[in-house]
Amino acid sequence: MCGIVGYIGKKQAAPVLIEGLYKLEYRGYDSVGIAVSDGEELRIVKRIGRVKEIECARRERGTVGIGHTRWATNGGVSVENAHPHSYKNIVLVHNGIIENAEKLKYDLLAKGEKFYSETDSEVIAHLIADAYSGDLLGAVMRACSQLTGSYALAVFSTDEPRMLVCARMHSPLIVGKAKEGLVVASDIPAVAEKDARLYTLNDGEFAKLEGDELLFFSAAGRRIGKDTIEFDLNEGCVEWNGRHFMRKEIDEIPKVLQASRLEIENDSCFSDFYKVLCQTEYIQIVACGTAYHSGLCLKSAMERICRVPTEVCIASEYRYSDPIVAKGTLLIAISQSGETADTIAAVRLAKKRGAYVAAVVNVRYSSLTRLADVVLYTQAGREVAVAATKSFNAQLIALYSIAETVASVKGVKAPSLTGLARKAAETIAISETVRSWTPYFVGAKSAYFIGRGADMCAALEGSLKLKEISYLPSEGYAAGELKHGTLALIEPYTPVVAIITRRDIAQKTMNAVREAYSRGAVIFLVTCFKEFCDEKEVTASVLIPKCPPDYSPILSVIPLQLLAYYTSVARGNDPDKPRNLAKSVTVE
């Protein structure tokens, strides 16, 4: 949710900011802007759209500057609402939501101050300007003490143009020393370079970047020290000349599954994690979106194989549900980004109530990794497309490995996880046929995905993928539930995708298929059983390799990911950057 970047040093700031913003575009891309100062003059360039819209600002002169790529929260998408925001001598960029902004703005308006945007961020600029009397750090600290909500801020004053001040509360911020200057950004790749020394700011902390000096302060205003963080320079290397990252990332699934198995076998963290797991009698899972669907898949496997009661909660519901955290509860938080605000808040609450927290996270040094008692990293590598694909498969193999280990401790025989990478490669090759299904989806009013058990989890994920990148209304449903209401929505030519990977309940799902077919639905099948492909109700099918049914979403989701991708492209959308969405959801 919004990417911020800042630079102060020897180089011209504008190109550094623009390059950084390209790497942060996954956080939001509805408008973009930079502000640079050469010590005399302040130049602000803002545009609606993506970072390329401010390429023209590369030549703006100045060695200090801040930049922002926006995902609108407060205020619509407009140049006025784009960042940076300025008031009097203060210029800032903000990521987060200020919850008491209306009240603060009301007071400022009463004092006669004028506002030019609808944003909560502009309110912060006013508060800092009002608190400023020659000390930018002090003014930012005083302003922040009045804020409720979340923020990552990078601020400079035209009165002190050789200084940047940063603050963080519930929104990520990295600060560091690069070869030729000091840098700040929402995420490591935006500022990572060889020999850079990077630090994470914690909630309530401030940083002052001046000349070549970088100082950190606690919420109480005391100087504090910090350890540098390690980073992998290659993680930011996501250059690719192909058409869409999403398609490339689906192709990477076999490699990711391979790497995940190796990591699980070699990583000592996994064995610590397993020790805790083996003693646990009850598991709660919190997550959002695709990660929530991974949680549902684990619940299905954990309960059926290990008989350990497992509850899966949508994090945004959990945090306000006054949850019961029984003694000895293991809470598993699943997140690709490790920055999802709802998941982080759920974890904080569960910890307060005594849960032991394990985080299953893809992005190193993300906020969730610092909160959890133990971290289990997934091996998806950097995922650029907003729609999660390979990270879902990476989460599943990590989560199924947990179930496998718990089973072995309990003396239960768990199905084997070997061979999934090869089968995923075969599935990708076979599933290319779903491209031929797209004419049925492109013009459809809505689409439905049905399955039972683990197949229902895959159905939910297939439906989410389709709606988020093709903008086609879609529902994932328990096959047996269709007849209890949703069947009323089936009209002639409504596409229905059925997933069938469990022999003992296959006929039950076929009942739902027949019910939909009788009402005119066009049926598409993802299955590992050849005989169902030949049923008269089935218009087209993908025959995926057989694998243990409890783990089947790891394969059955692949044709669904491809279907969403091809439908999105056929509808003329950009599958990598769907409208209204962002890769990392750091606000409520």
Stretch that binds ligand AGP, among 116-124, 382-390, 401-409, 508-516 (CB under 6 A): 382-390
Task: Check residue 336 for interaction with ligand AGP (CB under 6 A).
Answer: yes
**Per-residue exposure over 73-85, b if at least 16 CB sit within 10 Å of its own CB, e if not:** bbbeeeeebbbbb
Using CA atoms, how far residue 258 sits from 255, 266, 421, 479, 481, in Å, is 5, 13, 6, 32, 36
Instruction: Please tell me the distance from the alpha carbon of residue 236 to that of residue 246, in angstroms, as a whole number.
Output: 17
Q: Which residues are catalytic?
A: 2, 583
Task: Check residue 387 for interaction with ligand AGP (CB under 6 A).
Answer: yes
Instruction: Please tell me the distance from the alpha carbon of residue 62 to that of residue 81, in angstroms, as a whole number.
Output: 23
Instruction: Please tell me the distance from the alpha carbon of residue 250 to that of residue 244, in angstroms, as a whole number.
Output: 10
Stretch that binds ligand AGP, among 305-313, 316-324, 372-380, 386-394 (CB under 6 A): 386-394
Cross-strand partners of 214: 209
Minimum distance from residue 377 beta carbon to ligand AGP (Å): 13
Q: Which two tokens stand for residue 331?
A: 């809470």
Among 388, 458, 557, 563, indicate the residue that binds ligand AGP (CB under 6 A). 388
Instruction: Please tell me the distance from the alpha carbon of residue 569 to that of residue 563, in angstroms, as a whole number.
Output: 10
Task: Check residue 468 for interaction with ligand AGP (CB under 6 A).
Answer: yes
Among 96, 181, 289, 559, indicate the residue that binds ligand AGP (CB under 6 A). 289
Q: Which two tokens stand for residue 270?
A: 């996994």
Stretch that binds ligand AGP, among 60-68, 93-101, 330-338, 479-487 (CB under 6 A): 330-338
Check: CB of residue 449 under 8 Å from CB of residue 475: yes
Minimum distance from residue 476 beta carbon to ligand AGP (Å): 13
Minimum distance from residue 238 beta carbon to ligand AGP (Å): 16
- 93's CB contacts (< 8 A; 6+ apart) are 4, 5, 6, 35, 66, 67, 68, 83, 84, 85, 121, 153, 154
Minimum distance from residue 214 beta carbon to ligand AGP (Å): 29
Minimum distance from residue 388 beta carbon to ligand AGP (Å): 4
Stretch that binds ligand AGP, among 89-97, 191-199, 213-221, 282-290 (CB under 6 A): 282-290
For residue 149, give the DSSP letter: B
Task: Check residue 522 for interaction with ligand AGP (CB under 6 A).
Answer: no
CA-closest candidate to residue 6, choices 231, 172, 165, 237: 165
Task: Check residue 462 for interaction with ligand AGP (CB under 6 A).
Answer: no
Among 386, 522, 523, 538, indicate the residue that binds ligand AGP (CB under 6 A). 386
Task: Check residue 335 for interaction with ligand AGP (CB under 6 A).
Answer: yes
Judged by beta carbon, residue 340 or residue 405, the one nearer ligand AGP is 340
Minimum distance from residue 539 beta carbon to ligand AGP (Å): 27
Judged by beta carbon, residue 71 or residue 217, the one nearer ligand AGP is 71
Tokens 């550094």 belong to which residue?
16
* Phi then psi dihedrals of residue 5, to 5 deg: -145, 150
Task: Check residue 346 for interaction with ligand AGP (CB under 6 A).
Answer: no
Stretch that binds ligand AGP, among 127-135, 316-324, 346-354, 383-391 (CB under 6 A): 383-391
CA-closest candidate to residue 138, choices 208, 227, 200, 39: 208
- 449's CB contacts (< 8 A; 6+ apart) are 458, 459, 460, 462, 463, 466, 474, 475, 476, 477, 496, 497, 498, 499, 560
Task: Check residue 556 for interaction with ligand AGP (CB under 6 A).
Answer: no
Task: Check residue 585 for interaction with ligand AGP (CB under 6 A).
Answer: yes
When CB distances to ligand AGP are compared, the closest residue is 289
- 408's CB contacts (< 8 A; 6+ apart) are 414
Among 340, 393, 567, 586, indicate the residue that binds ligand AGP (CB under 6 A). 340
Task: Check residue 375 for interaction with ligand AGP (CB under 6 A).
Answer: no
Instruction: Please tell me the distance from the alpha carbon of residue 68 to that of residue 119, in angstroms, as a whole number.
Output: 14
Task: Check residue 28 for interaction with ligand AGP (CB under 6 A).
Answer: no
Q: Which two tokens stand for residue 254?
A: 């076999």
Check: CB of residue 79 under 8 Å from CB of residue 39: no
The residue length of the chain stands at 588
Q: Which residues bind ligand AGP (CB under 6 A)?
A: 288-291, 335-337, 340, 343, 386-388, 468, 584-585
